[in-house]
Structure 1
Amino acid sequence: MFPDAGFREPTDESVLVEAERKLGEELPVGLKQLLLESNGIVGQTSVDTVWTIEQIVEQNLYFRSDSSFAQLYMPFDALLFFGDNGGGDQFAFVQTPRRPDIFVWEHETDSRRWVARDLRDYLGRSLTDGGDDWYQ
């Protein structure tokens, strides 16, 4: 369906359990299912459309704990980042309140806005619309 996308080897259920422990929250069901099939997706221009589970954990912990970010940006605790556009903007699920929608965090303005109704919609838009700024 997405001939230009790159799929990785699947992750293991035990890795997802450990990731949830480190993050202190459950991963969205759709994201877990995807990671069990492909531990991340590389988009058309080598962009990490969906990060590996290791990168998801690393980036979310970093964004939630970096003191310089706390001075520059609104808190990130309600978001679960899982992919990016290659230029600094990142895509996230809203965890508080938990919902399937995907939002983009635009790093230059600290804006957070809706871009897709769920993970399937996000993948369809980001992998077929062409370009890394499909959400603009």
Structure 2
Amino acid sequence: MWREFVTSISNEHYFKEPATKYEIDQIQKDLNVELPEELAGLLNETNGVFDNWNCPLIWSASQIVKDNLFFRNFDDYKDIYMPFDNLFFFSEAGNGDLFCYAILKNGNIEKNDIYVWNHEDDSRTWVAASLKQFIEGWLTDKIGV
């Protein structure tokens, strides 16, 4: 479903083998979060979505863990940004801004809303109502930062 959806919008993206159950479980364990069903579905089809220059549209499972842990734990950021514990990053804009879900309580992402975190002013702005809407909007330039 996700592969067909992305290729219906752009033929400039490729897919990898699905993320393993272990990789998906590691996201949930290492980040103490329950994955949104839509993102889990995408990772079960492909471990990230990449353009022809190997830039990720959607990060791989390992990059999700690595980058979320970095932002949550990097000491220098604690003095200049609000905490990142309530954000779940899964993509980047290419300019330093990151796309994320909001973690509301008890590690639950209760809504499929997608936000962009602005690295310059630390704002968090709603950009899409779902992962599908985000992908379509980003690939067709309806969403920009």
- Scaled by the length of structure 1, what TM-score is found? 0.90
1:112 aligned partner, one-letter code = R
Aligned to 2:144: 135
Find the aligned partners of 1:48 and 1:112 in 2 and give their Cα distance: 21
Q: Secondary structure at the match of 1:115?
A: strand
Using the alignment, how far apart are the partners of 1:129 and 1:43 within structure 2? 15
**Alignment counterpart, residue 55 of structure 2, candidates 47, 59, 73:** 47
Give 1 or 2: higher strand fraction: 1
The answer to which of 111-120 and 46-55 deviates more is 46-55
1:44 is displaced (CA, Å) by 6.8
Distance 1:90 1:3 in 2: 23
CA distance, structure 1, for counterparts of residue 73 and residue 130 of structure 2: 27
State the 1:45 CA deviation: 6.2
SS in 2 for 1:114: strand
Structure 1 residue runs of 4 or more that deviate by more than 6 Å after TM superposition: none
Match of 1:123 in 2: 135
Q: 2:144 is matched by which residue type in structure 1?
A: Y
- Of 63, 82, 105, which residue of structure 2 is paired with 1:74? 82
Inter-partner Cα distance in structure 1 for 2:137 and 2:53: 14
Question: Does 1:99 pair with 2:111?
Answer: yes
Alignment coverage as a number of residue pairs: 133
Q: Which residue of 2 aligns with 1:36?
A: 44
User: Which amino acid counterpart does residue 17 of structure 2 have in structure 1?
Assistant: E
Task: Work out whether 1:108 is the aligned partner of 2:95.
Answer: no
Partners of 1:121 and 1:115 in 2: CA distance: 9
For residues 28-79 of structure 1, the C-alpha deviation after alignment (integer angstroms, 9 at most, x for no partner) is 1111110111111124765321100000001111111111111010111111
Residues 67-120 of structure 1, C-alpha deviations (whole Å, 9 max, x = no match): 111101011111100000111110001111532100001111111101111100
User: Which deviates the most, 15-24 or 107-116?
Assistant: 15-24
**29-38 or 45-54, larger mean C-alpha shift:** 45-54
Look up the SS of the partner of 2:112 in the other structure: strand
Residue 124 of structure 2 aligns to a residue whose secondary structure is strand
Question: Equivalent residue of 1:27, what SS?
Answer: coil
TM-score of the two chains, using structure 2 as the length reference: 0.84
